[in-house]
Chain A
Amino acid sequence: MECHDIRKNLSAYLEGMVSPEDQELIDQHLASCRACSTALYELNRTDRLLKNLKEVEPPPWMTQKIMARVREEAESKKGFIQKLFYPLHIKVPLEAFATVLIAVVAVYVFRAVEPEMKGLQPPSSQEPIITRQEAPYPAKAPAAETQAAREKAVPQESPTKTIAKDLAVAEKEIQKRARVDEEGGGRKFKDPPPPVSEIKTLPAPPPTSPSTAPKKEAAVPLQTEAPRMAESRTAEKAASPPAAAGVAPAQEDKRALAEGAARERKVLKKVQPMAPSPRMAAKAKAEVMDFLLRVRDVRIAGGEVESLLNQLGALRINRVSRENDEIITAEVKAEKMKELSEKLKFMGEVEEKDARLGSIEKDTTLRIEIVPAR
């Protein structure tokens, strides 16, 4: 064995990890080779130096520091699942989330059910009331009565209801003129007006009255002005004997006028004792505004106006259909008034009997009369 090989094995030799044969060879070589025995000595010293190295002591804070980090790690690890589901402690996250979730779900459920609940509630007084009164077409007494009731409601209204009064004033004007007419013709028509039975017995005015001709002229335009000519004629037919066949047209006109006035008074008498209807009470609450809407088809326009009023949230919609016209009354909110008037203008020719439409600042009862276009 060369020195080189011996030195390679010295470490193992020191540890007794060489075969007995190698150990003998090394022993023999070491005895004769000074350099190799010195190397063995140095190796031994080195080993001793390493084994004698002083152990270092961990700093006193070491354990605590390690455990602090470990606990921090443990907290954050269990934090997610255990903090959420473990009882006790202050588990704000899960409870708070659950509470919010319940609240949100409750709101959604309530919203989803709300429309159905509304459907179940009995219609309150604030709900729009849509009534459609279909009058029989050859206007008979009931129709006349309905109309009269509407018209005669005017005197019962409070003094502020000026718009509706306009109509009443116009009608009174007619009556007055008719009265003057009659008086001019030698007839004495004193208030209170005679009941219908009295009128029936009245003799026809003398055809030779000198003022008849001019008064007839006055009466004709009045007839066109009077909005209820159809009814007037019906009333006339019912009230007057048919014996007037041979009477001159002038006379017939005059008599019709007189009797129309009488009929109106009669109806007024009949209506006055009636208790005010709910519709009248509603009218009394708000201003009344009249529109005249001229359209090509009265029925279609009536339906359109009715649905428009519904859209605008109008209350107490009341529609009365008659032979030639439709009358719709409704309470409309002030802020919807402008929109309503705009839309009505699209449907046909609108005549506002009162020009204050733009300046209305509170809820108003509208009365829209739909008549065929001229």
Chain B
Amino acid sequence: MSNRVEERIQTPADDDSRLVSSCQQGEIDAFEALVKKYEKKMLNVAYRMIGDYDEACEVVQDAFLSAYRSIKKFRGESRFSTWLYRIVLNLSKNRMAQVRTRGAREAYSIDAATETEEGSRRMDPPDEGPSPLEQMEKKEVDARVQGCINGLDGEHREVLVLRDIQGFSYEEIHDILKIPDGTMKSRLFRARDALKECLKKVVGDL
């Protein structure tokens, strides 16, 4: 009876810390529970950061392995999830740099698109003539949005992904990225503006 009450009042963070301490004592099954709990969110962060599903899968695996290797150093100063997102973001940014140098990924360049204020010139429009967003398939819209995200640099991309896609609170983002609030917000607003401008060009009128 009392157990059930305790379970009910346990927060996810408590649950994590229990699993983490089990991991620290060498229980691999506890780590598997954490993997199952966080892998989807980790993958989505990685995918939005990198823009490539397969690369994102690899990054997530590497991130979990890296987390396992250093889990004994995890002292619980921040939440486990925060720590985990920091790892996957750092690995994703490294991977982004590799992808960009390979030139394997096409990104819509925001700078190139802002040459003229009201030109609304499409960069590399996939189709001739303006086509309303509603007429596009969701998958296609998502791909173009992702293309615009890929055009952002890492600093702007990570705040955008964490805040507007993953819905983290400013506090959580602050914990993950360890940057001042002002910096974080200015990056976020600039990222949104840039993305808006990009989307206007690649999908037509919003």
Contact = CB atoms under 8 A, between A and B. Distances in A.
Contacts of B164: 47, 50-51
Given A62-B39, A62-B43, A67-B32, A49 B199 contact: yes
Interface size class of A (residues with CB under 8 A): 35 or more
B199 A46 contact: yes
Interface in A65-105: 65-67, 69-71, 73-74, 78
B28 A69 contact: no
A63 B206 contact: no
Given A63-B35, A74-B28, A69 B189 contact: no
Contacts of A356: none
B192 A43 contact: yes
A275 to B, nearest CB: 86
Interface stretch (B63-71, B74-82, B90-98, B172-180): B63-71
Contacts of A17: 185
Interface string A35-64: 000010111011101111111111100110
Contact of A67 (B28, B199, B206): B28
A223 interface: no
B47 interface: yes
A11 interface: yes
B48 interface: yes
Nearest to B149: A50
B39 to A, nearest CB: 5
B195 A46 contact: yes
A257 to B, nearest CB: 109
A50 B142 contact: no
Interface residues of B, number: 42
A47 B199 CA distance: 11
B110 interface: no
B53 A46 contact: no
Contacts of A73: 65, 68-69
A29 interface: no
Given A43-B193, A49-B199, A53-B146, A74 B26 contact: yes
B20 interface: no
Contacts of B200: 42
Nearest to B64: A66
Contact of A42 (B36, B65, B206): B206
B142 A54 contact: yes
Interface string B127-164: 00000010000110110011000000000000010001
A46 B28 contact: no
Contacts of B188: 11
A54 B139 CA distance: 8
Nearest to B29: A67
B83 to A, nearest CB: 16
A17 to B, nearest CB: 8
B160 A50 contact: yes
Interface of A: 7-8, 10-12, 17, 39, 41-43, 45-47, 49-59, 62-63, 65-67, 69-71, 73-74, 78
24 contacts: A8-B189, A42-B206, A43-B193, A43-B196, A46-B206, A49-B141, A49-B199, A50-B145, A50-B195, A51-B165, A53-B142, A53-B145, A56-B56, A58-B39, A58-B60, A62-B43, A63-B32, A63-B36, A66-B39, A67-B31, A69-B61, A70-B31, A73-B65, A74-B26
Given A51-B164, A57-B40, 20 more contacts: A8-B189, A11-B193, A17-B185, A42-B199, A42-B200, A42-B206, A45-B206, A46-B195, A49-B206, A52-B138, A53-B48, A53-B145, A55-B44, A56-B44, A56-B53, A57-B43, A62-B39, A67-B32, A70-B31, A73-B65
Interface of B: 26, 28, 31-32, 35-36, 39-40, 43-44, 47-48, 53, 56-57, 60-61, 64-65, 68-69, 133, 138-139, 141-142, 145-146, 160, 164-165, 167, 185, 188-189, 192-193, 195-196, 199-200, 206
Which 4 residue pairs are nearest across A and B when measured between Cβ atoms? A11-B189, A45-B206, A46-B196, A50-B164
